[in-house]
Amino acid sequence: MGVTIYDLAREAGVGIGTVSRCLNDHPHVSAQTRVKVLAAAKRLSYQPHAQAQRLASRRTNTISVIIPSFTNYFFVQVLQGVQDQAADSGFDLILYSVSHPEQVEQYLRRSLHRGHVDGVLFFSMKLPEAHAARFEQMHLPLVLVDAFHPSFDSIRVQNREGSLAATRHLVELGHRSIAMINAILSTQPAHDRLEGYRMGLEEAGMPFRMDRVIIGESGKNDGFNREAGRDAMRRLLETNTGVDRATAVVIASDVQAFGALEATRAARVRVPEDLAVVGFDDIELAQYAELTTMRQPMYEMGRLAMEKLIRRMKEPGAPPTLTSFLPDLIVRRSCGAVLRGLPGQTNLDTQRAVEPSLSIA
């Protein structure tokens, strides 16, 4: 049997309560007593039990992560950043995958159960106000990722500005009729990316036409999936005829773009010769598909979210922070820039600047 705090108490000549306070760095212990107890612990080679330490400090070293889907490429890469930072900091993760809206409140209730977790990461969904009030009441650390609430630390991507930059890029390539494939508009990223697309058209003096916005609603992840992208592109191609046909399309996510490219190949529509394509995310597979896209710093967002949560545990009274990332335009073959003789351009480090950076990959 290992050395216990009772052994330490006898060795140091103090009570077990004093030993506990010394080991947990309690302020109401004299320096002389602290030195005596720690010296006894060293002589006896005392190793504290991890679970006992957690109970004594009322910490679980566990974080709840509530996320729309584990299978979405975007979230996979963000979660890798979360996991790496959590491992570096000695925290375990409880992952809750939301497949139905009613599960959001269920998982929030579990996370709010006292002593269950030390903090919560909440991804890409609207935080119910009733639960926001409970988090504030219980002082449970909460960080929102790809979402925003004024009372909590938040990390978000400027989706509207990213979609605006994608549309501007196609306008600069000479396109005067640009369509969009989007996901379900009740989700904030889809709504904001539609708004950026609309702003890009109007800025160029081109009319915004809702019939040129194809909503991919099939499958999971609110339409942010390959099947929805394939179905939306099929519907676009069925009506994309005549002199005012769309010659370019902005797609709200890379995974939708992969499905859309499948549909163009099946219809023998050449990309980019017949139809230029720009995606959003720059997931790992985008480079192999030669997809022009708006890059989000997914891994970095995950690590930063975990860092913010740990900082909030240490500084519960600090004012809430907002970190906003501006996507970078990554130019590859699918937009047709090379075919149109776009001159070489250099990388610009403008992650949080006014305009997205532009790089040729």
**SS3 sequence of 258-314:** HHHHHHHHHCCCCCCCCCEEEEEECCHHHCCCCCEEEECCHHHHHHHHHHHHHHHHH
Predicted TM-score (pTM) of the model is 0.75
How do residues 272-299 score in pLDDT, each as one tens digit? 999 999 999 999 889 999 999 999 999 9
- Pick one of 3.20.20.140, 3.40.50.2300, 3.40.50.1820, 3.40.47.10 as the CATH number of 62-158+299-325: 3.40.50.2300
CB 146 within 8 A of CB 82: no
Question: 5-56 and 62-158+299-325: same fold?
Answer: no
Q: Which of 73-82, 103-112, 213-222, 326-335 has the highest mean pLDDT?
A: 326-335
- Give the mean model confidence (pLDDT) for residues 298-316: 92
Fold classification of 5-56 is 434 Repressor (Amino-terminal Domain) (1.10.260)
Query: What pLDDT is recorded for position 159?
Result: 94
188's CB contacts (< 8 A; 6+ apart) are 124, 126, 146, 147, 159
Q: Looking at the predicted structure, is the pLDDT value of residue 224 above 90? A: no
Strand 213-215 and strand 153-157: the pairing is unpaired
CB hemisphere CA count around 253 (13 angstroms): 26
Listed by start position, the domains of the chain span 5-56, 62-158+299-325, 159-296+327-360
Q: Looking at the predicted structure, is the pLDDT value of residue 220 above 70? A: no
Q: Looking at the predicted structure, is the pLDDT value of residue 240 above 50? A: yes
To the nearest whole percent, how much of the chain has pLDDT over 70? 85
How do residues 146-192 score in pLDDT, each as one tens digit? 888 999 999 999 999 999 999 999 999 999 999 999 998 888 889 99
Query: What pLDDT is recorded for position 161?
Result: 96
Fold classification of 159-296+327-360 is Rossmann fold (3.40.50)
The helix/strand/coil state of 31 is helix
Mean pLDDT, the chain, rounded, equals 84
Q: Which band of pLDDT confidence, cut at 50, 70 and 90, is reported for residue 74?
A: confident
Q: Which band of pLDDT confidence, cut at 50, 70 and 90, is reported for residue 350?
A: very low
Query: What pLDDT is recorded for position 249?
Result: 98
Query: What pLDDT is recorded for position 348?
Result: 31
Q: Which band of pLDDT confidence, cut at 50, 70 and 90, is reported for residue 218?
A: low
Q: Looking at the predicted structure, is the pLDDT value of residue 269 above 60? A: yes
Q: Looking at the predicted structure, is the pLDDT value of residue 222 above 90? A: no
Q: Looking at the predicted structure, is the pLDDT value of residue 306 above 80? A: yes
Paired with 359 in beta bridges are 330
To the nearest whole percent, how much of the chain has pLDDT over 90? 46
DSSP at 23: H
- Give the mean model confidence (pLDDT) for residues 248-265: 96
Among the listed ranges 105-114, 254-263, 279-288, which one has the minimum average pLDDT value? 105-114
CB 295 within 8 A of CB 266: no
